[in-house]
Every structure is written in structure tokens, then in C-alpha cells.
Chains A and B, each alone.
Chain A
């Protein structure tokens, strides 16, 4: 068993009606590795996690967790995994403590262990004061922490975090990140899905970019950013119609979803020089600029680079 990777996915396909949610995914997570699955809404991240967590059988292909098939050996797989979903899956009417105790019992801890562990986790996740209040009174961040704690009653061999910070304010997000880092430091292998490059970058050893149900790139955060270029010059033009002229005037310029917005990937070491050269070019061609600036690449930039198209917006994906 120790020679089997934590996750091995081979040619997994899943259709919902006429929608191809997964179109032949291959992915491997080694034991002890932290992999970030990065992609926009509707890319197939959650579907893949649900397949791996035995909630959804794949139409085709095979997925194994430490060598156990997620369909055939589902009961064994469930003993190895912890799942924290994007919709905080806690019982609203029960208190935080009752939730943890219940999940502990369902992980087949003894009643006494479940009670003790619930207390420890409440303490550890900063929920001790709120432990005896119903979960429905919790803030989004508290709920997410309780959800994460609920998958840690027993030490999972592999933890799935499905968009753990989507919709959280920065403080709650940092709290989740901090706990996640600690889990990683304690050696818990992790498959994290996220829409945010920064999150994948902060937490994962390796990032797999998923779009339209397929993995389109894999690498470290730096490798992915290098594919975009070290930095990006971001230009906001004054007029909608100026995009073509600006693109013609500046070598390497790319259009974005917004007709007035142009982006130019530039190498990090010459970023400032490139910025002033571009500014001079724009000035010389008589284009009016609302805003121009230098920034780090974002998920949008990685996407533009990898797919040559703007990432779908939330509305399109839904």
C-alpha cells in the first residue's frame, strides 16, 4: 500500500445530461504531497473531488486512493479520507460540539474519545466559546472552521479541501490557511481546490490547472507564473475602440474580456524598463490611458496564457 500514490486518476470522465463535467482527467498525488487543483467555477474541480471522495461514480476511467478503487473499495476509501466541501457541511441545528461529537461517533470513535476530541478541536479551531451554540448562529468563517474540524476527528490519510476559503473575508481566510499549513506541516497529504492562484501558490507544492473538465497544465506556482511572464503590465484604455490600435502598437499585448483592458506579460527583471517603454509607446501613438500599472500575474493571466481566452465568469460557468 505504501507504494501506491495517495491519488491516482486515469482517464476519468463524467457527464451530467449533456454537460461534460470531466473529459478524461489524469492526475497523481504522491504520498505527503500537497496538490492544488486550480480552475474557475464550473471547471470540474468539485466534480473531481466528489468522485475521489466516493460521492459520485465516474462514467469512465479509474480513480484510486492509496491503491483502493473509489467505486469498488468505497468503504475502505472512506476510512482514509477527510472531506471539507465548499458548502460548509455541518448540521445547522446542532451546536458545534454536538456536530463534532456526532461526526466522531460516525467515524466510529468511542463515545468518550468523540467527546474529548470534540473539545480539543473546538479549542484548536478557536470555537471553544461558541461550542455550545447552534451552528446556524455561526459566521461564515466559523462555520468553515467547524467544517474543517469535522473532517479531522480521526487523522485522515488524505484530506480534500474543496474551495475552503471561497466567499470568506481575508481574516477568516488567513485562519483557514494557517490551520491548513499546520496540517501540511504535520504530514497530512492534501488535495486542495481553489479559484485563487494565490491560495494554490501559498499552500500547494504543485498546482494542476483544470478547465472544461480537463487538466491543462501542471507545475509549481512559480513555473506557472513563469509561463505567463514574471510580471504583467495592465493597461486600461479610455475608449472601447482603442483596443486594436493599442494591441498593434505594443508587441506582446493581449486582449482580455474587457475591450478597454490590455495586458502585456513582461519579464520580471526588466519590468520597470518595459513599463516605461510601453508608456512611451502609448503616448507616441496618441492613445488615452485611464490606468496603467505593473502587477503580479493572477489566475486570469495564467488562464489567458494557457487557454488563450479569458476565464469564464461565474455567470457563464453556472
Chain B
């Protein structure tokens, strides 16, 4: 059997005719009027702006499947990165509950305050994993192949962030289950609960673009990891994720009240257990869409020009 032709149809094969170049369209459906030209199959062709969008979506989905398979093929990573958020829910609520609870309004348990914050905490830290995964890809040869293929330029980045969004949302569900076991309840009804999940998903998605952009600027998986944690730690702790900013020293409280992580945590919290919804949600949406509109084109541009 030769490489581009199968033996059954050798008789009608003219090696001088390059059918791959000569005909467009799907070879999945052979025109019965012409003898089947045995050759490597021909690519799907779709022209125009719609074609560009179609392939961007299709290629992104192909890369997403690849990255989701990666999670499943690394069971140890999967187990530990799943245990970690569960552990945080249990540990933080038990350890800080006694002290932090005193700063909370009457009737609000620390677990109820903490869990929506931990959604944001978990999304923020997982975005470092997104960056590390991307940096590892860049260090391996496989991205070279992606870059030499006629695929959409944004698919490698979009595929990675989509896969991480899927994973983020599954971890979120797990955290809610653990939270419920410990006594947490969504008090604002199912639509608000879904809204909380959506806002966390959106904010996590923003974060999963921000840090990979840094990985594109400072190549190397270790650099991505280190730089990621150095940036994430102060952002997460100087916010309303763990405690109300009013309890912090003035300078930090000022920073914390402006931080997008505070808006996101407040929005998730309001939708979960009550409080002012509109302000934090609008601010989170503005931050998320605003930054995504900047960071996605910057990342794709940077990725295109990487050598």
C-alpha cells in the first residue's frame, strides 16, 4: 500500500495529477459520475469571513478536545488539583471561621461568606495552570507543528482557555457540593445561583487569558509558574475573597476595594447569599469584557509572532 493511494483504486490513479491541489471541497462525498481518485483526502474549503469564523470555532474545538484529554491522561494532576479546592473549602472555613466570622454581619456564617470568594480564588489560581500548560506546549515541538498547519491562529489559545473553563466549572460544582455538605446554601434562588456560576466562569475565563499572555511574554513553564504565583497571591489576598476589605489597613483596603477580584467575589457572593447585586455584577462584567477585548487580540498577535 502506498502512502497516498489505496490499492483498491490504484487502477484509476494518475500519479501525475495532483488531485489534492486540483479539487476543493470535501472528499467525504465522492461524485459518482467521476471515477474515485484514490488519493489523500482533500480539505474542507469555506471562504469569506464566515469561513474564517467557522474554522476558528472548529479548530478551537479540536484543540479543546486535546487539552481535555490531557487532563484525563494525567490522573495524578487531576486528583490533586481537584482535592486542592475541596481542601481549601474545609480548611479555610474551619481555621479562619472563628476570627473572620466576628467581622461579618450578624447571621452571616463565615462559610457562606467564604465559599463564593473561594470560587474566585480557585479560578484565579487555575489560570496559572493555564499559563503553565501553554508554556509547556511552547517548549515542546507540538506548537511548531500547530503553527505550520493551515489552522486558525487563535485556536491554540482559545482551545486551552475553553478546556480550562470546562475544568473550572466542574471544580466549581464540586466545591458547591462540598459546601452544601458543610452547611452552605444558595439563598437567592436557582437563577441567582446560576448567575453566580456564570459570573465566576466569565471572570475565570478572563483570568485564563491574562496569565497565559504573561507566559507568552516570559517564555518557560517555570517562569510562568513563578511569575503567576507572585502576581496571583497579592491579588487574591488583597481582595474581598477571604475577608471584608474594611478589616484591612487603609492602604490595602483602598487597593482591595478597587480590585476586580473584589468586584467578582462580591458579585458571586451577592448572587449566592444576598447583598447588592447590580453594582458588583456590572463592574465585573465591565472588567471582564474590557480586559478580554484587550488581552485576546494582544495574545493572538503575540502568539503569531513567536519564534
Indicate with 1 or 0, residue by residue over B8-42, a CB within 8 angstroms of chain A CB atoms.
00000001101011000011100000000001111
A154 B151 Cβ-Cβ under 8 A = no
Q: How large is the interface on B (under 10, 10 to 19, 20 to 34, 35 or more residues)?
A: 35 or more
CA distance A70 to B41 in the complex (A): 25
B41 A183 Cβ-Cβ under 8 A = no
Q: Determine which residue in A121, A152, A155 has the highest number of CB atoms from chain B within 10 A of its CB, and name it.
A: A155
On whether A90 and B142 interact (CB within 8 A), knowing A113-B26, A154-B43, A155-B40, the answer reads yes
A110 proximal to B (CB < 8 A) = yes
A157 proximal to B (CB < 8 A) = yes
* Interface of B, helix, strand, loop or mixed by DSSP: loop
Pick from A53, A88, A102, A155: contact of B141, CB under 8 Å: A88
B145 A117 Cβ-Cβ under 8 A = no
B70 proximal to A (CB < 8 A) = yes
B43-72 residues at the A interface, CB under 8 angstroms? 43-45, 55, 58-59, 62, 65-66, 69-70
A153 B40 Cβ-Cβ under 8 A = yes
A152 B145 Cβ-Cβ under 8 A = no
A55 proximal to B (CB < 8 A) = yes
Indicate with 1 or 0, residue by residue over B66-100, a CB within 8 angstroms of chain A CB atoms.
10011001100000000000000000000000000
B146 proximal to A (CB < 8 A) = yes
Q: Determine which residue in A98, A113, A116, A182 has the highest number of CB atoms from chain B within 10 A of its CB, and name it.
A: A113
CA distance A113 to B30 in the complex (A): 12
Which residues of A are found within 8 Å of B149, using beta-carbon distances? Answer: 78, 103, 106-107
A155 B18 Cβ-Cβ under 8 A = yes
B196-230 residues at the A interface, CB under 8 angstroms? none
CA distance A62 to B284 in the complex (A): 48
B2 A106 Cβ-Cβ under 8 A = no
A88-131 residues at the B interface, CB under 8 angstroms? 88-94, 98, 102-103, 105-110, 112-113, 116-117, 120-121, 123-124
Which residues of B are found within 8 Å of A94, using beta-carbon distances? Answer: 66, 69, 73
B66 A108 Cβ-Cβ under 8 A = no
